């Protein structure tokens, strides 16, 4: 029987290559895998990019989102091909919530290292090394910084409608040492979803620092 597809959706301050420690293993195990490259312009644009990938794949698909990617999979998860949602230190908004409001209500240290120019925002090198990817080698953190795509400020005000987690099964990986999304917020979102929760002693990027632990959860979702 064909295995479920796995589609990865990156967040802010990292691009689709942030899943590179995981993708080769899944490919070797026979999964069809695609890592979306979000334009990071509006929620609608990122959802459209994800839906284009979902529509070209056949069969059930597990949608995996990191950070802001959680917003994207919460909307794109309504696609009929999606059979489950995996949140990796990710936003999991409810109806009417925005990234800006959630981040302001539950602040995290990385927010102090943001720069804005011409309506776009990015994370400083120090912010990446200390607060985004604090448990990965410096060379890896430098690569993350170099490949991040700046995000439009418009993303912070886009509201969620029709959250897919209300109708699709979900899994949540909570990063207990996260300095980019407040771990308290992660726990609140995971609990209100009724997600199957895994907690890791990790920075904001467990898919890089603890790929085997993240793979375990993805396989569980795919097998379900």
Q: Of 24, 11, 154, which Cα lies nearest the Cα of 87?
A: 11
Specify the pLDDT at position 2: 81
CA distance 173 to 74: 15
Structure tokens at 24: 């080769």
Specify the pLDDT at position 215: 98
pTM of this prediction exceeds 0.95: yes
Specify the pLDDT at position 117: 92
If you average pLDDT over residues 4-9, what whole number do you get? Answer: 97
Instruction: Give whole-number Cα distances, 103 to 26, 67, 134, 156, 188, in Å.
Output: 32, 11, 20, 9, 13
DSSP the chain: -PPPEEEEE--TT--GGGGTTTHHHHHHTT--EEEE----S-HHHHHHHHHHHHHHS-S-EEEEEETTHHHHHHHHTTSTTEEEEEEES-----TT--HHHHHHHS--GGGGGEEEETTEEEE-HHHIIIIISTTS-HHHHHHHHHHPPPEEGGGGGPPP-S-GGGTS-EEEEEETT-SSS-HHHHHHHHHHHTPEEEEES--S-HHHHSHHHHHHHHHHHHH-
CATH number of the domain residue 25 falls in = 3.40.50.1820
Specify the pLDDT at position 173: 98
pLDDT band at 118 (very low <50, low <70, confident <90, very high): very high
pLDDT band at 183 (very low <50, low <70, confident <90, very high): very high
If you average pLDDT over residues 111-115, what whole number do you get? Answer: 94
Place of tokens 């909570």: 174
If you average pLDDT over residues 158-172, what whole number do you get? Answer: 97
Other beta carbons less than 10 A from residue 97's beta carbon: 19
Q: How far is CA 150 from the centre of its chain?
A: 16
Tell whether the model's pLDDT for residue 57 goes beyond 90.
yes
If you average pLDDT over residues 149-159, what whole number do you get? Answer: 94
Place of tokens 């011409």: 118
Tell whether the model's pLDDT for residue 78 goes beyond 90.
yes
pLDDT, one tens digit per residue, over 8-56 is 999 999 999 999 999 999 999 999 999 999 999 999 999 999 999 999 9
Tell whether the model's pLDDT for residue 64 goes beyond 80.
yes
If you average pLDDT over residues 123-127, what whole number do you get? Answer: 95
What percentage of the chain has pLDDT greater than the value 90?
A: 99
If you average pLDDT over residues 70-88, what whole number do you get? Answer: 98
Domain that holds residue 57: 5-223
Specify the pLDDT at position 109: 96
Specify the pLDDT at position 77: 98
- For 143, residues 6+ apart whose C-beta sits below 8 A from its C-beta are 17
How many domains are contained in the chain?
1
Tell whether the model's pLDDT for residue 213 goes beyond 80.
yes
CA distance 224 to 126: 40
Tell whether the model's pLDDT for residue 1 goes beyond 90.
no
- For 138, residues 6+ apart whose C-beta sits below 8 A from its C-beta are 129
Mean pLDDT (the chain) is 96
């Amino acid at each position: 029987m064909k295995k479920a597809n796995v589609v990865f959706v990156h967040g802010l301050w990292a691009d689709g290559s942030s899943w590179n420690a995981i993708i080769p293993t899944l490919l070797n195990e026979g999964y069809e895998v695609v890592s979306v490259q979000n334009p990071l312009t509006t929620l609608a644009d990122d959802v459209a990019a994800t839906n284009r990938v979902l529509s070209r794949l056949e069969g059930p698909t597990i949608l995996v989102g990191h950070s802001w990617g959680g917003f994207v999979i919460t909307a794109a998860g309504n696609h009929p091909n999606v059979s489950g949602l995996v949140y990796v230190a990710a936003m999991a908004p409810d109806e009417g919530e925005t990234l800006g409001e959630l981040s302001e209500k539950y602040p995290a240290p990385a927010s102090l290292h943001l720069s804005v120019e011409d309506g776009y925002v990015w994370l400083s090198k120090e912010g990446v090394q200390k607060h985004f990817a604090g448990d990965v080698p410096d060379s890896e953190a430098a690569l993350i910084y170099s490949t991040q795509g700046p995000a439009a400020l418009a993303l912070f005000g886009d509201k969620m409608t029709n959250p897919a987690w209300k109708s699709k099964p979900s899994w949540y990986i909570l990063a207990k040492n996260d300095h980019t999304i407040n771990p308290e917020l992660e726990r609140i979102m995971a609990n209100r979803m009724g997600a199957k929760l895994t907690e890791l002693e990790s920075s904001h990027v467990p898919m890089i620092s603890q790929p085997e632990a993240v793979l375990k959860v993805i396989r569980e979702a795919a097998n379900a």
